[in-house]
Amino acid sequence: MTNIAISAEGLSKSYRIGRKQARYKTLRETVTDFATAPLHRLKSSLHGHAATEQGELIWALQDVSFTIQKGDVVGIIGRNGAGKSTLLKILAQITQPTNGHAEIKGRVGSLLEVGTGFHPELTGRENIFLNGAILGMKRAEINRKFDEIVAFSEVEQFIDTPVKHYSSGMYMRLAFAVAAHLETEVLLVDEVLAVGDAAFQKKCLSKMGDIAIEGRTVLFVSHNLGAVHKLCSKALWIKSGNLVLEGESGHVIDKYCSDLYKIENDYSLRERRDREGDARIQFTRIYWQDENGHDLHSLRSGGNYTLVLDYEANTDSIYNDVFVSFLIKDNLHTPVLLHQTDFENGNFKDIPSKGQFFCKIPRFPLAQGEYTVNIFVSINNKTSDSIDNASRLTVDYGDYYCTGHQGRPELCKYLTEGSWELQGMSE
């Protein structure tokens, strides 16, 4: 009983999403709302439904309960927009839950974003103190760790230079260094490992590992499943605001991956909330076909394929200049293949309200492996719909070179035709 560090019961958080643009009200709107709201309320109660004029109620988090033991390092995984960050924000007391309650034993430190609170005009030294204080460190504590922080950040030389002159890498390193030296019993971490170059990321990861060994309780949100697996003993999987599974991290990650694969291979994009754009055109489905128009589950290097994107447009107007593109990334998130309408054919005109965009790719030039596809559509240069990781793509071995050689996917994912010749030179 005494070993519980965090206990949450029925945590829920709802947001009212109304008009897309208006993030804050003007006085006039409030005054007119104030004047007309009773009328609206009266009208809707006459019609027998609740007053929803102000917008839809979205549950970012719904009835989430869990307990975390002292000293556990717990990963929180889930798709974009699943509610992971909302959960951390509630635990960090940045925002209040709509319902439910939680109790945390021990001092809580949160690293939701590195570098917030840095002031560009102040020097590195001054920012260490300022940022430390913002994160909840005492001055004496910062003094004691100052040298350690500077050494970790690798910016000794520039410590008395205003940080506005820092490169973004130096800036992030310093910011992470301050945050990483926060000594609280409970630490809430959101995706901070995505900073700096590969070497520094490795350093951050090992620092996180040290923190875990020290026996502190850590809650860690990340998309880097490898890092979660490595650092965390337990994991929570959150899906559309609900806690689906909690348990040993390897097990949870496996379940999560298979679900991810299932969803993405369902190809339906209607449910996706992690998209951007004004929604004048929206993708509804993404899939691949072979030359005979058969839907495919995986591709082979060298085959002739067509990428099909079903869409629906809002029918009020006719759109000209519709730009569509896709970008394929490999498992390390390195872009490997991009194509867009204006490369060869030009953008689409007069598109019907419902239809399909096709992109034919002859001799598919990627080596075997796992990929993800981002898709994008814009009208007159204004983003209509943009979905990262719209689908996963599995490419199996295929005879691209017609020689039986499969290329070297571990070195390079991209395949190209080429012919080697030898010519001697006369002396």
Q: Which residues bind another protein (CB under 8 A)?
A: 15, 24-28, 30, 89-108, 110, 112-113, 116-117, 119, 121-122, 126, 129-130, 133-136, 138-139, 141, 185
CA distance 297 to 287: 8
Helix axes 168-180, 139-153, angle to 10 degrees: 140
Neighbours of 65 (CB within 10 A): 13
Of the two residues 122 and 359, which places its CB atom closer to another protein in the complex? 122
Closest contact distance (angstroms) between CB of 337 and another protein is 35
**Considering beta carbons, is residue 110 or 389 the nearer one to another protein?**
110
* Nearest approach, Cβ of residue 92 and another protein (Å): 5
Are 239 and 60 in contact by the 8 Å Cβ rule? The answer is: no
Rounded CA-CA distance 241/82 in Å is 5
Q: Which is nearer to another protein, 104 or 232 (CB)?
A: 104
Question: Which structure tokens are listed for 416?
Answer: 């190209």
What is the torsional sign of CA 214, 218, 222, 228? positive
Question: Closer CB to another protein, residue 144 or residue 273?
Answer: 144
Least distance CB 312 / another protein (angstroms): 31
Nearer to another protein, 175 or 281 (CB): 175
CB-nearer residue toward another protein: 99 or 340: 99
Q: How far is the CB of 189 from another protein (least distance, A)?
A: 12
Listed in sequence order, the DSSP H helices in 267-372 are 341-344
Instruction: For the CB of residue 185, give the shortest distance to another protein in the complex, in Å.
Output: 8
Minimum CB distance to another protein smaller for 85 or for 347: 85
- The nearest distance, CB 134 to another protein, in angstroms, is 6
In the complex, the smallest distance separating the C-beta of residue 351 from another protein, rounded to whole angstroms, is: 38
In terms of Cβ atoms closer than 10 Å to its own Cβ (0-12, 13-18, 19+), residue 267 is middle
- Measured distance CA(185)–CA(195) in Å, rounded: 24
Contacts of 75 (CB under 8 A, 6+ apart): 220, 221, 222, 228, 229, 231, 232, 234, 235, 236, 249, 252
Supply 20's token pair: 């897309």
